[in-house]
Amino acid sequence: MSPNPEMWDELSGRVAAVQNPWIRQLLESVLQRHGERLKVWPAAMMVHHAYAGGLLEHILKLAEVGGGLAASYGVDPDLVLAGAILHDLGKLEELGHDGATTYSRSGNLLGHITLGVKMVGEMAAEIAGFPDDLRERLEHMVVSHHGARALGSPVEPMTEEALILSAIDDLDATLHQFKRHVREDSGEGEFTAYHTRLRRVLLKPSGR
């Protein structure tokens, strides 16, 4: 299943509206260089958005929610958008997607956070004059987006934008699991079966 082309148009439009010229140039490079895979890549093997186009769907939801939170809390919206696009970029190298989704050699050995921060650093280095401070802020968002060391991030969020990114990333992944579990539950009761990853049963919406 290919994603709706409107999704790609929406992402391209958000990038075109970025005010910071360095961030806009970096994100345009990402779309140009990795666009064909970004359009169809899954976000995971099993946990959330584990289907063709899932990564793009996840990015767009983070861009939408992150933009609203950036405005509400008065933080840099361009950084939040950049984090939404860049945080899982390493999954393009971590996961192979050719009919079935598998882990690549580098995915197993390094993981998507390490791969992603390398990709961001390399692309920033190709842009002459790209500010070191901005590059480090973007790299920090990638390495901290799981929110805690216990969850796989080598550091915890230390900027407002990184904190927002980690929060909305977890929220979107968790709500996606909620919705799928409720949708796929075939029981007759008002609660679903126990979800081992979420470690709870879920109350079904009225009418189910």
| Number of domains observed in the structure of the chain | 1
To the nearest whole number, what is the mean pLDDT of the chain? 89
> In this structure, what token pair is assigned to residue 193?
């079966």
| SS3 annotation, 85-127 | HHCCCCHHHHEEEECEEEECHHHHHHHHHHHHHHHHHHHHHCC
pLDDT score recorded for residue 44: 61
Q: What does the pLDDT look like over 116-168, one tens digit per residue?
A: 999 999 999 999 999 999 999 999 999 999 988 988 899 999 999 999 999 99
| Residue 188 counted as domain residue | no
pTM of the model: 0.89
pLDDT score recorded for residue 128: 98
Cα-Cα-Cα-Cα torsion 125, 112, 164, 7, nearest 10 degrees, comes to: 90
Residue 91 CA: distances (Å) to CA of 34, 119, 130, 160 = 11, 11, 24, 24
CATH number for the domain spanning 44: value is 1.10.3210
Tell me which residue of 117, 56, 116 sits closest to 91, measured CA to CA.
116
Looking at the predicted structure, is the pLDDT value of residue 28 above 70? yes
| Residue 191 counted as domain residue | no
> Given pLDDT bands bounded at 50, 70 and 90, which one contains residue 108?
confident
Looking at the predicted structure, is the pLDDT value of residue 29 above 70? yes
pLDDT score recorded for residue 3: 56
Looking at the predicted structure, is the pLDDT value of residue 175 above 60? yes
Instruction: Annotate 132-173 with DSSP letters as a single string.
Output: HHHHHHHHHHHHHTT-SGGGT-SS---SHHHHHHHHHHHHHH
Give the whole-angstrom CA distance, residue 126 versus residue 103.
28
pLDDT score recorded for residue 19: 98
Phi, psi of 146 (to 5 degrees): -80, -10
| Residue 186 counted as domain residue | no
| Residue 204 counted as domain residue | no
The residue segments making up the domain with residue 105 are 5-177
| Residue 208 counted as domain residue | no
| Residue 207 counted as domain residue | no
> In this structure, what token pair is assigned to residue 109?
């050995």
| Residue 201 counted as domain residue | no
| Residue 120 counted as domain residue | yes
